[in-house]
Structure 1
Amino acid sequence: MDPNSSGRGVRQFKTYLLHRLEKDEKDTQRRLASTDAKEIQRFYEHYCKKYLEEGLQTRKPDEMARYYQIASVLYDVLKTVTPDKPNSEYDQYAKGVEKEKASFSHYNILPLNISGPTQPVMEIPEIKAAVALLRKINNLPTPRPDTTNGPQGIDDGPIVRDLLDWLWQTFGFQKGNVENQKEHLILLLANIDMRGSGNVHQGERQNH
């Protein structure tokens, strides 16, 4: 067809053809979007089952941290392709994923709040004593839920495992700073405990 043709019939045909192409393109996009959403849903289910549920007790914490991070990204993609289709099933599951992802956050030395097998370093008596000391918060008031501060519990309440979590939720400290200070404080308390025990043993040896 000559694009420069100006006849009435030619112009009508060109206009009809353009409208038809635009309509077909929109219909194709809708079908692809629907197919993409279903494919991502299936892949999200498969990924979570294979990498998050199976072998949880045997995988290393840093490995699980990567898997949970990827699952979180997949859910963000799923929400992007289905913005007008709320799915309570996926939302609830993703909420649990986010909660567990926080448990598998990267750490420097101490794997605090890690699901799965207990790491050997956490079995050191002085470390266990320091962790237990920080978790004596029964008499403190429960912080108000704040969804902007981090992961919430199943009942939408704040997750408070110890004194540092309580300070974070109550006063809004940065989560990363709290985790670093928590590890530092536990190591400091454990070191003081070890030194005290060493001095006691040394004194006992001198008395003998």
Structure 2
Amino acid sequence: MSQTAGKLGMVTLDSEVVPSSLVEIAPILRVANEVEASNPRVAYLCRFYAFEKACKLDPTSSGRGVPQFKTALLQRLEHENETTLAGRQQSDARDMQNFYQHYYKRYIQALVNSTNKDDRAQLRKEYQTSSVLLEVLKAVNQTEDVEVPDEVLEAHTKVEEKIQIDVPYNNLPHDPDSQNLAITRFPKIQATVTALCNTRGLPWPAGHEKKLDEDMLDWLQTMFGFQKDNVVNQRENLLLLLTNVHIRQFPRPEQQPKLDDRAVTIVMKKLFKTYKKWCKYLGRKSSLWMPVIQQEVQQRKLLYICLHLLIWGEAANLRFMPACLCYIYHHRRACEFNSS
């Protein structure tokens, strides 16, 4: 966890290796290590805030490795307070405010205004660092009984909005800023996205404010309460699944942004193979049915597929019990879905 370094008995605190009961302070220590070269006093304030938070998280130091960790961190703070105090320009609150504003303009604003939108991971990292800095700034200001300036709060409000939109992803980005990325401009990806966004005729709950980019999975989440992260994961899963089948069709589909219905049918047959066997074995009539209007058939197929994947995503260990999943789909969700 820590290593003795130098004649002063200083310790190098690894922000990624902290006791399990204090894992919440790891991001704060990481930020302290990052900003130390440019502003040692801000780094000290971050570590001091991390120490205060550690005392609240485990006040009795009963967690494994916590006493040693706190002792090492306190020793470092005592030394750094003396060495960094001389470099303080005004007050800790004022220095933290100036540093936050400088960081926001130099790193976040510069990246947001840049024409190069590909370095999204770096921007996400800067958002996280900014959030930690504001958290420390608020703590310092509270200690000195100073209000956080409105311009700082306004700037961070924009950061929080971006954090809510710019969520981590596996292969495909989901936020509006990703529309210009090469992978999202791929015609087959656009065809699948367009098909999933066809929510025409679906009854949204009263009072629901529909957004422009909402799709079938958002509708199912609104109607049945699926978890947000599950919806995000299954959207990406389905986009790649349909796109891969779509591009393998022969003769090849036209380049126009329209999902080949053959791809939808193939994916649906594969996903519902077990469910249909289950219905046949029990002598039950399948809950799957298609509308008379041909233009609505693909939408209905996609809705069934989305519903199946969202239930599968929520099922956790039940994924290994296909019969249970079939029962849940048949008796609960599919019936409710058809009745809507």
TM-score interval for Structure 1 and Structure 2 normalised by the shorter chain:
0.5 to 0.7
User: Is residue 209 of structure 2 the alignment partner of residue 141 of structure 1?
Assistant: no
- The answer for the alignment partner of 1:35 in structure 2 is 91
User: Is residue 88 of structure 2 the alignment partner of residue 54 of structure 1?
Assistant: no
Unaligned runs of 5+ in 2: 1-87, 254-340
C-alpha contact 1:143 1:166 (8 A) present in aligned 2 = no
User: Is residue 185 of structure 2 the alignment partner of residue 123 of structure 1?
Assistant: yes
Question: What is the distance in 2 between the residues matched to 1:108 and 1:64?
Answer: 16
Per-residue Cα deviation, 1:116-139 (whole angstroms, up to 9, x for no partner): 772221121111122223334476
Q: Is the alpha carbon distance of 1:125 and 1:72 closer, same or farther for their aligned partners in structure 2, counting shifts above 3 Å? A: same
Q: Give matches, 1:57-96, under 5 Å.
A: 57-58=115-116, 60-83=119-142, 85=147, 87-96=149-158
Query: How many percent identity over aligned positions?
Result: 32
Post-superposition offset of 1:68: 1.0
Secondary structure in 2 matching 1:115: helix
C-alpha contact 2:178 2:184 (8 A) present in aligned 1 = no
Post-superposition offset of 1:108: 0.9
Range with greater deviation from structure 2 (111-120 or 40-49)? 111-120
Post-superposition offset of 1:55: 3.5
- The answer for the alignment partner of 1:10 in structure 2 is none
- The answer for the alignment partner of 1:200 in structure 2 is 251
Q: Is the alpha carbon distance of 1:38 and 1:167 closer, same or farther for their aligned partners in structure 2, counting shifts above 3 Å? A: farther
C-alpha contact 1:144 1:170 (8 A) present in aligned 2 = no
* Aligned CA-pair RMSD: 3.4
- The answer for the alignment partner of 1:45 in structure 2 is 101
Post-superposition offset of 1:175: 2.8
- The answer for the alignment partner of 1:175 in structure 2 is 228
C-alpha contact 2:92 2:140 (8 A) present in aligned 1 = yes
- The answer for the alignment partner of 2:240 in structure 1 is 187
Q: Is the alpha carbon distance of 1:159 and 1:81 closer, same or farther for their aligned partners in structure 2, counting shifts above 3 Å? A: farther
Higher relative contact order (CA 8 A, sep 6+): 1
Question: What is the distance in 2 between the residues matched to 1:61 and 1:177?
Answer: 22
Range with greater deviation from structure 2 (61-70 or 127-136)? 127-136
Amino acid aligned to 1:82: N
Aligned length: 157
Range with greater deviation from structure 2 (133-142 or 43-52)? 133-142
Greater CA radius of gyration, 1 or 2?
1
Unaligned runs of 5+ in 1: 1-31, 146-156, 203-208
Q: TM-score, normalised on structure 1?
A: 0.60
Question: What is the distance in 1 between the residues matched to 2:235 and 2:178?
Answer: 21
Q: Is the alpha carbon distance of 1:127 and 1:174 closer, same or farther for their aligned partners in structure 2, counting shifts above 3 Å? A: same
Question: What is the distance in 1 between the residues matched to 2:126 and 2:177?
Answer: 14
- The answer for the alignment partner of 1:8 in structure 2 is none
- The answer for the alignment partner of 1:98 in structure 2 is 160
Which residue of 196, 210, 213 corresponds with 1:161? 213
Amino acid aligned to 1:48: Y
